[in-house]
Structure 1
Amino acid sequence: MRIFIVDDDLDKAGQYKAELENNGFIVDIIFRFEDVLEKAINLRPDLIYLDLLIPNRDGFRLCQSLKQHPVTRDIPVIFLTKLGNMEFVNKGINLGAADYLLKASTNSQKLLNITRKHLISISARFHDQLH
């Protein structure tokens, strides 16, 4: 299963990537917003972790673009950010994000557990659609 981590904090993203790859996931770190939609269309990740705070970019707008595109709209997007304001949380969920996590309280092991939880949910929905 392929996961995108969209973040300009390469140290933190690298920690998350190492934990996920050690558990069998394929992980791509993308730090340029302008690359995300094209790569998502071409590689079709199973899950996208998206930071809101990348200089001169709007994570909400990127989430909206992903949710509006027919190829990427069903890919779960999880915000992973430093911004814990409830207004941001609500906006992210209203745009179609599957979850909203704070970096300060999300270590690599917690991220792995959340990834597994979301992928189990995806598998269950896919199974239900087949039957």
Structure 2
Amino acid sequence: MTEAVQSEPMPVPVRAARFIMTLDVAFGLVGIGIMIIVGAVAFSPAYVLLFLYAASTTALMGWLISRWPSRRKAVRWGAVALELVLGGGGLIVKAVDGDLGWTALVGLLIPLAVVVLLLTPAAARWFDR
């Protein structure tokens, strides 16, 4: 007979990071839907680039979440890199719009939280197996 193998449960920081990223994907999909509606009215090349950025980062984050149970190091570091790109991209968009104030820092909190959660020792142990 086959025996059930107990695996290490997902630690709280990893679970929290996955939950935050799942919410981010959900809100990203809502944002993409709104962008499609607005894009039908106000079409421009800059808008297309912004739409492609939003769609590609949302799709990549969804793919990373789907690969989460594999516990591979590449998934962890990919999520850290993606969140750094999202935080930096948000700052760049705010700077281009000329709205670089405290709201830009608030928008940086979610990617920063995921990066901090994934860089904890518990997350490192879980992803290293």
Scaled by the length of structure 2, the TM-score of the pair is 0.32
Q: Which has the larger radius of gyration?
A: 2
Higher relative contact order (CA 8 A, sep 6+): 2
Structure with the higher fraction of residues in strand conformation? 1
The structure with the greater share of residues assigned to helix is 2
TM-score by length of 1: 0.31
